[in-house]
């Protein structure tokens, strides 16, 4: 069985020069497991606490959506639909999305609470008050926790303040998020795994932070045999990334015909200029053209022509997915066309 991301990261850090595994140190009395961080690096310039995001919050999303499916405004859609595109049809969609955001990101907040205590305790007991506090978050499999979701929540928590205006998580200087379930979008057919560093407000007080993080990121890329490239961005957006499972599907040598059609449409979205109603009407016309082929006693459509209709239907569904359209109105259009 392949080693997990958590296991591999521990091996990586333990092999670094000037790295100390805190569990292996001769620690003072009272330094129990609940309070210790994981690593000291660069002659104790930085304390690293490692947290893996392993609890999948997707059932929370499904349960919340199920509670709204009986509502008249709840959309009918084909296949999978992005959460934001489902909720935009509900008058209280923004409120529901905010509620879900905090539900699915609870594991991130829990990681912050624990790491803050562990890093501070390590500083106190090992007498290294000037060490950088680096929280490393690992996301190996939880696709709901996308780069945008994690980056946004991490930024919120890093800047949270107490009533006196001081930072709430004082011991966390910076957060390094490592993904193995997403890839940066690019023109090359290869995976570019995101490794995102988000600095807190106190980061400017630590002149060694940049060099420590650079050393860790470069070393992690080398450890995994991956290229290392950096870029500074102001805001992390999911539009910059693709799920690794989707990228692997795109790179398959043998893919289903409908997947080829979907990709061709994304490269040339010719329905993009149409209004929502015009797109739905276009789909309804396609159904009316194809319907005789599926009806008992109906006129059989030549195979080549049917393939063209099916390609057009796939393009229609892809545009519906991109826009997040409600197919209830489409159902009525189809019934109307059939009556005509």
192 exposure class (CB count in 10 Å sphere: 0-12, 13-18, 19+):
middle
CB 101 within 8 A of CB 84: no
Structure confidence by residue, pLDDT tens digits, 135-194: 999 999 998 899 999 999 999 999 999 999 999 999 999 999 999 999 888 776 677 889
Determine the pLDDT at residue 1: 65
Distance between CA atoms of residues 120 and 296, nearest Å: 74
This prediction's pTM: 0.78
Contacts of 55 (CB under 8 A, 6+ apart): 107, 142
Number of CB atoms found within 10 A of residue 265's CB:
21
Determine the pLDDT at residue 130: 92
Q: Is the pLDDT of residue 339 over 60?
A: no
The whole-chain average pLDDT of the chain stands at 87
The two tokens of residue 179 are 């993904």
Residue 38: half-sphere exposure toward Cβ, Cα within 13 Å = 19
Number of CB atoms found within 10 A of residue 135's CB:
31
Write down the number of H helices and E strands in the chain: 12, 8
Determine the pLDDT at residue 152: 94
Mean per-residue pLDDT, 60-89: 84
Determine the pLDDT at residue 340: 47
Mean per-residue pLDDT, 68-87: 82
Element holding 243 (H helix, E strand): strand 241-243
3-state class (DSSP) for residue 20: strand
Ordered by start, the domain boundaries in the chain are 5-55+105-242, 58-103, 257-339
Determine the pLDDT at residue 3: 87
């Amino acid at each position: 069985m392949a080693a997990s991301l958590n296991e591999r990261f521990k091996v990586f850090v333990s092999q670094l020069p000037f790295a100390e595994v805190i569990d292996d140190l001769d620690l003072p009395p009272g330094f129990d497991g609940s309070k210790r961080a994981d690593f000291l690096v660069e002659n104790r310039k930085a304390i690293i606490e490692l947290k893996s995001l392993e609890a999948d919050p997707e059932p929370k999303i499904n349960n919340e959506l199920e509670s709204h499916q009986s509502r008249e405004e709840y959309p009918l859609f084909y296949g999978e639909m992005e959460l934001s595109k489902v909720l935009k049809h509900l008058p209280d969609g923004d409120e529901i999305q905010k509620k879900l955001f905090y539900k699915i990101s609870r594991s991130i907040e829990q990681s912050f609470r624990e790491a803050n205590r562990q890093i501070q305790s390590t500083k106190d007991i090992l007498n290294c008050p000037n060490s950088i506090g680096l929280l490393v978050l690992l996301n190996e499999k939880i696709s709901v926790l996308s780069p945008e979701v994690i980056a946004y929540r991490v930024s919120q928590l890093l800047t949270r303040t107490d009533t006196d205006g001081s930072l709430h998580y004082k011991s966390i200087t910076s957060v390094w998020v490592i993904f193995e379930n997403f890839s940066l979008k690019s023109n090359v057919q290869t995976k570019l795994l995101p490794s995102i560093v988000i600095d807190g407000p106190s980061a400017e007080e630590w002149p060694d932070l940049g060099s420590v993080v650079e050393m860790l990121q470069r070393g992690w890329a080398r450890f995994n045999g991956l290229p290392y490239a950096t870029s500074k961005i102001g805001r992390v957006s999911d539009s910059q990334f693709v799920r690794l499972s989707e990228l692997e599907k795109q790179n398959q040598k043998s893919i289903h015909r409908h997947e080829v059609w979907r990709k061709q449409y994304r490269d040339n979205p010719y329905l993009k200029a149409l209004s929502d109603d015009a797109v739905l009407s276009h789909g309804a016309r396609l159904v009316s053209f194809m319907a005789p082929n599926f009806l008992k006693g109906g006129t059989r459509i030549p195979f080549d022509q049917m393939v063209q209709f099916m390609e057009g239907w796939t393009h229609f569904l892809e545009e519906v997915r991109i826009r997040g359209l409600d197919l209830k109105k489409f159902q009525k259009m189809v019934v109307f066309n059939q009556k005509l």
